[in-house]
Structure 1
Amino acid sequence: MIDFTSGQLVGWVMSIFWPFVRLLAFVSTAPLFGENMVPRRIKIALAALLAFVIAPTLGPIPDVPPLSIAGVWLVVQQVMIGAALGLVMRLAFGVVQSTGEFIGMQMGLGFASFYSAALGANTMVLGQLLNTFAMLLFLAFNGHLILLDILARSFTLLPIGVDELHGDGWWLAARTGGILFTAGVSLALPLIATLLTINMAMGILNRASPQLSIFSIGFPMTLLAGLVVITFLIPDLGAFLHRLFDTLFERMLSVVGALAGRSTPDALP
């Protein structure tokens, strides 16, 4: 007969509860796992399953009552860490979605929109198309497995119960927006430059021949040129997103290391 005390039972529950909080915050904000189409019960079940698997590999868990002031602060810490890691990666899909919508506006496809259950709002067709490509490539590159690996390693780099989180980590996470802005401009620049050249040509043609109806030929020209440029860009989209994903994976590890006060966290294998 196996006997255990109430103290042992509480210790086992707490050893799963503390990683569960960080994992749930990550699952709720990370791409693929945190989509609106995924039911909340599935997110909670996934976080609980990951916590159950990761808990035996963790070191000593702090003996802090969850309903105490220290326990509430520890919960807030774990939520902030998990949400920061998930949001850093989600920004990659946000920049792809925004770039696609901006390109669609320039092509004259602003009217082509539909309701997206993933975002809970109306989105343009081109933005949703590029976002779908990004999701499929993310799965093809095993990005979901790398995310889980980084999250598991975060418990080693930044153990539960650390005294304080260094501000350099939050500053590093905020500076990720600069990387994504550069990536979005690089992705949209070829098509924007092409459409700008066509619009300038249409403007010069309108000044040279006012009787020519620019509106009747301008829209088909910009739409056709946009489709042609996108056709040439799609084959290179995989390499572009692969570099972007690798950069953000490294940034996630850097954020964890900076939060823990380490300047050079372990790199990805």
Structure 2
Amino acid sequence: MNPELTESLMPLLNLAHEGLWQGFVVFLRVGSMLALLPLFGEMAIPARVRLGLGLAFTLVALPAVAGTLPHPGTSAPTLLLVVGEVATGLVFGFGLRLFVLALQTAGAMAAQATSLSQLFGGGPGAEPSPAMTHVLVVGGLALAGLLGLPAQAAAYILQSYQLVPPGTILDPALLLEAGVAEVGRAFALAFSLSAPFVAAALLYNLTLGVINRAMPQLMVTFIGAPAMTAGGLALFALAAPVMLTAWVAALQTFLADPFHGAP
């Protein structure tokens, strides 16, 4: 090759090398985060589609964070950078995945309270789940997508770089504190969503006990079980829109202020 041509192409090669390095660093965090994000990280989505989504979100985030990315260094700092970026992406992705787990837990609690836990359906994950859980998860993900989850996810990714700059190693103590708080908040959200079904089941069992005490000869179980199933389905039809609205509101609040600045 002509030496003059090689010399003239060197700036372009250096620019391409720098761009590929920056894209790789951003993809480490975005790809690991996207594997756990609601709607984008579901097992029902093919791996090729998720890879394409990861590259698309990388292209969205790269221009905004390119100036904050470190330059290629020695092997040890590069290894720490890779581990730190993947860990940060997993932490931020797990924070959103907890909302899906909260919805699944709420559906399981509601199904158990209304004696419908044995009615399984094909859940969004690898294993079957109660039909109530399936309806809530699919409805919640669809509602979040309609209300702008892709754009909110892109803003969430950019906000993660403000909270945890590239190359930063997360503090284990602070990470443990934030993780325990978020897990507790997820369980509190799940219980609050399923509270109507738990209260209805409590009233049903109390009523059943009083009737059984007053008329021991009456087989109240055979009479009450169909009523409980029908009442549970009717209550689910009325409460599901309210549950999904409250869940999406909590999800959007977290997207606006992830971890309350804890990391």
Q: 1:54 aligns with which of 46, 53, 61?
A: 61
Shift of 1:251: 4.3
Q: 1:64 aligns with which of 72, 75, 93?
A: 72
Does 1:17 find its partner at 2:21?
no
CA distance in 2, matches of 1:224, 1:37: 31
The structure-2 alpha-carbon separation of the partners of 1:210 and 1:94, relative to structure 1 and needing over 3 Å to count, comes to same
The amino acid that maps onto 2:240 is: I
The amino acid that maps onto 1:72 is: L
Once the two structures are superposed, the pairs formed by residues 1-269 of structure 1 within 5 Å of their partners are 3-4=9-10, 7-58=14-65, 59-65=67-73, 68-116=75-123, 118-162=124-168, 164-166=169-171, 167-252=173-258, 254=260, 257-259=261-263
Instruction: Decide which structure has greater helix share.
Output: 2
Shift of 1:243: 2.5
Shift of 1:108: 1.5
CA distance in 1, matches of 2:181, 2:103: 18
The structure-2 alpha-carbon separation of the partners of 1:65 and 1:40, relative to structure 1 and needing over 3 Å to count, comes to farther
CA distance in 1, matches of 2:63, 2:256: 26
Provide structure 1 residue ranges, at least 5 long, that are not aligned to the other structure.
260-269
CA distance in 1, matches of 2:193, 2:165: 38
The structure-2 alpha-carbon separation of the partners of 1:227 and 1:152, relative to structure 1 and needing over 3 Å to count, comes to same
Shift of 1:133: 1.6
Say which is worse superposed, 244-253 or 81-90, in terms of deviation: 244-253
Say which is worse superposed, 177-186 or 76-85, in terms of deviation: 177-186
Q: Contact conserved, 2:37 with 2:96, CA < 8 A, in 1? A: yes
Shift of 1:57: 2.6
- Could you say what secondary structure the match of 2:70 adopts? coil
CA distance in 2, matches of 1:143, 1:46: 13
- Could you say what secondary structure the match of 2:53 adopts? helix
CA distance in 2, matches of 1:136, 1:8: 41
Shift of 1:202: 1.0
Say which is worse superposed, 9-18 or 242-251, in terms of deviation: 242-251
Q: How many residues align?
A: 254
The amino acid that maps onto 1:186 is: S
Q: TM-score, normalised by structure 2?
A: 0.87
Q: Contact conserved, 2:61 with 2:157, CA < 8 A, in 1? A: no
CA distance in 1, matches of 2:18, 2:85: 18
Shift of 1:7: 4.3
- Could you say what secondary structure the match of 1:220 adopts? helix
